[in-house]
Every structure is written in structure tokens, then in C-alpha cells.
């Protein structure tokens, strides 16, 4: 049989020994669209949704460890208090039907430039935990994603967990699309503040082949902030938007033009900072 339904990581390794070229299937919400449209023709598949170790999440004082099979519905409903920006992003993923099936691990593994969770995970300095029979390795998200729908996953490996540090400070996620529901983002951004470390992190989505950190904008904002009052002057907020725009390297496609994307990402980055300091 060219398909396997493992229920444990050990069974996943066994399945990948038998089917080394198999596609690793999580929720299927991206994969099945490509298959339905004939863009992809799988010959063997390892289905991951029954794998016990991939289910659920755990929360400690320092971090949230998301099993790769954690669905967007779970993030949206359960993690609002601990990971507010990721929960906000989860609410914008597709429709209830997509969020019930689609997973965080699938989002990372698919590595779409428009993946809604990715700018948040990038801004949070999330780590991808990869498992194989010989052991595990941890890779920073932005090292794991190497290009458009490309990752550094190796044969025999499976995404096991996504580790997300918990940070004290305001968090925002903003997304531009044609509707309030069921849209692939034209641009999106996540702004994460770390009040303790006094850093501002800005992750941008759909404006480059990979999710992006706007590091010039981040350094500028960290300097311009009044950290005691958690405020920033209006001209600094405007400048932050300009720097975010400069970091973007968007393309034109059916969802929007490069010019529009560059403009819009500056607007939403500035708005995210404005909301964060007003909170």
C-alpha cells in the first residue's frame, strides 16, 4: 500500500523507511488543493493526523510547545491569552472548515509565502523541532524555511513540535485581504514587543519568498520607544512604517501588485505599532 496511517512517531519512521518519497500529510488544506488542480501527483503518502506525539500543546512559564498537529481552531480558541498574535492570525486562516483541519505544523512545512502563522512565528523567534529515528534537531523557523514552499527538512524527518517563547508585551497581527474571512493574505504583519528585553519584533508575510523580519524597523522602534510609558511619538510610528516598507521585496500576482503590497505593508506595520503603544 502506498499510504500509511501511523499512530506514533516510531510508526512514522517505519512508514518513511517503506515509503521514502512519501508526502507527509497533515490537515491537507494546502496539499489537496494542489492535488485537486493537478499541480501535484502524489504516489505515496504518510498521513500524520493520528500520530499521538503530534497532538496538543503544553504551556510553561517560558514557552508554548505546539505539537505539529495543533489545529488553527485550537490556537484560536485556547491560546488567546498566551500567544495573542498567533491566535489573532489563527482567526484569519481560511474558514472554520479550514481551521478545523489545517495545522501549525502543516503551515510551517508547506512554507507558503502567504502562510498566516509564519510572520508571527518568525517574530516570536520560534523553533522548529524535527524528529527522526536517530534523534531530534531544533532549527530556528527562519533557517528552516529556505524559499517559496521550500524547507530544510531531510529525508526521514517529520516536524514534531513548534516551540514558541512566551513574551511579556503587546502583540498585534494585521492582514490585508478582500474579505474579512476566507482570504489568502495580500500582505500581513505581526508586531511583537518584549518589554523585558526591550525589543520590538516585526514579521512580514506575503511580501517576500520567505517570511521576513524587518530588522531596521525593529531596531529603530526599540530606540524610539519610551519603554517606561510604553509609548512612541507619532513621527516615529510613521518612520517605522517606512522602514517596514523598505524591508519588503514583494512581487505582483493575482492577489495584488508589488507597489500595492509595499504600500500596504507599511500602513499595517505603522498601525500595528500605533495600536501596541496605545494599549
Partner 1 sequence: MSQQPSDALHDPTTSDGGLGISDYPTPHTDRQSTVDYALTVNGREMTVTDAWIGESLLYALRERLGLPGSKNACEQGECGSCSALLDGRLVATCCVLAADAVGSDIRTVEGLASEGELTDVQRAFVEQGAVQCGFCIPGMVVAIHDLLDRNVRATELELREAISGNLCRCTGYGRIFAAFRQAQEGRINAGA
Positions touching partner 1 (CB under 8 A) are 1-3, 5, 25, 27-29, 31-33, 35-38, 40-45, 47, 49-50, 73, 94-98, 100-101, 180-182, 254
Q: Which is nearer to partner 1, 227 or 260 (CB)?
A: 260
Cα distances from 117 to residues 46, 186, 197, 209, in angstroms, run: 23, 14, 23, 15
Residue 275 corresponds to which cell in the numbers above? 495600536
Residue 185 corresponds to which cell in the numbers above? 493574505
Shortest Cβ 46–partner 1 spacing (Å): 10
Cβ–Cβ < 8 Å for 23, 31: yes
Q: Return all residues near 264 (Cβ < 8 A) that are at least 6 apart.
A: 176, 186, 187, 256
Shortest Cβ 19–partner 1 spacing (Å): 11
Shortest Cβ 213–partner 1 spacing (Å): 29
Q: Which is nearer to partner 1, 3 or 258 (CB)?
A: 3
- Give me the residues paired with residue 200 across strands: 193
Shortest Cβ 169–partner 1 spacing (Å): 28
Q: Which is nearer to partner 1, 15 or 214 (CB)?
A: 15
- 3-class DSSP state of 183: coil
Shortest Cβ 279–partner 1 spacing (Å): 23
Which DSSP string do the residues of 69-119 spell out, in sequence order?
T-BHHHHHHH-TTTSHHHHHHHHTSS-HHHHHH-BHHHHHHHT-TT-THHH
In 92-214, where does DSSP find H-type helix? 96-101, 104-110, 117-123, 141-144
Q: Which is nearer to partner 1, 33 or 136 (CB)?
A: 33
Q: Which is nearer to partner 1, 93 or 141 (CB)?
A: 93
Q: Which is nearer to partner 1, 48 or 126 (CB)?
A: 48
Strand 57-59: give its sheet, edge to edge. Answer: 57-59, 63-67, 158-165, 127-132, 135-140
Amino acid at each position: 500500500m502506498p499510504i500509511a496511517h501511523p499512530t506514533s512517531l516510531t510508526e512514522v519512521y517505519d512508514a518513511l523507511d517503506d515509503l521514502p518519497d512519501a508526502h507527509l500529510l497533515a490537515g491537507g488544506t494546502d496539499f489537496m488543493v494542489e492535488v485537486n488542480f493537478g499541480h501535484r501527483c502524489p504516489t505515496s503518502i504518510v498521513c500524520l493526523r493520528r500520530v499521538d506525539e503530534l497532538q496538543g500543546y503544553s504551556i510553561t512559564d517560558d514557552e508554548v510547545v505546539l505539537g505539529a498537529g495543533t489545529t488553527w481552531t485550537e490556537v484560536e480558541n485556547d491560546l488567546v491569552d498566551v500567544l495573542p498574535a498567533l491566535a489573532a492570525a489563527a482567526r484569519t486562516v481560511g474558514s472554520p472548515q479550514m481551521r478545523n483541519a489545517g495545522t501549525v505544523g502543516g503551515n510551517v512545512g508547506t512554507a507558503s509565502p502567504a502562510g498566516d502563522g509564519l510572520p508571527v512565528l518568525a517574530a516570536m523567534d520560534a523553533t522548529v523541532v524535527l524528529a527522526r529515528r536517530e534523534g531530534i534537531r531544533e532549527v530556528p523557523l527562519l533557517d528552516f524555511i529556505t524559499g517559496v514552499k521550500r524547507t530544510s527538512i531531510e529525508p526521514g524527518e517529520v516536524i514534531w513540535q513548534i516551540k514558541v517563547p512566551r513574551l511579556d508585551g503587546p502583540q498585534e497581527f494585521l492582514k490585508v485581504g478582500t474579505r474579512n474571512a476566507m482570504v489568502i493574505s495580500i500582505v500581513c504583519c505581526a508586531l511583537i514587543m518584549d518589554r523585558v528585553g526591550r525589543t520590538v519584533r516585526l514579521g512580514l508575510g506575503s511580501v517576500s519568498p520567505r517570511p521576513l523580519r524587518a530588522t531596521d524597523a525593529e531596531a529603530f522602534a526599540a530606540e524610539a520607544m519610551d519603554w517606561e510609558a510604553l509609548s512612541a511619538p507619532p513621527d516615529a510610528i510613521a518612520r517605522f512604517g517606512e522602514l517596514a516598507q523598505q524591508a519588503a521585496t514583494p512581487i505582483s500576482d493575482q492577489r495584488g501588485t508589488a507597489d500595492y503590497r509595499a504600500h500596504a505593508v507599511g500602513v499595517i506595520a505603522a498601525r500595528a505599532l500605533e495600536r501596541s503603544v496605545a494599549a
